[in-house]
Amino acid sequence: MSDTEPMIPIVCETCGTETRVPLSTLEESLRKHNSSRHDGEAVAEVAPEVADELASMVAEDLGLLDE
């Protein structure tokens, strides 16, 4: 992990928790939480407002929003 690596907020409404994890460990962190606390069900997730912003940025970069 570098000092400039983005920290991504993840939330779990069921547990009432929110934390930030490095982007490089995001997938593993979500998998571990959901596996150990929710029998593998995808309950914890990237904070919705961040996920929406990331999706918009990716779509723009890929030219999916071009008319």
pLDDT tens digits for range 31-41: 999 999 999 99
DSSP 6: P
Q: Which helix (H) or strand (E) holds 33?
A: helix 26-38
User: What percent of the chain is predicted at pLDDT more than 90?
Assistant: 81
| CB within 8 Å of 63: residues ≥ 6 apart | none
Residue 47 has pLDDT above 80, yes or no: yes
Contacts of 20 (CB under 8 A, 6+ apart): 7, 8, 9, 10
Average pLDDT of the chain, as a whole number: 92
CA atoms within 13 A on the CB side of 20: 5
Single-letter residue type at 39: D
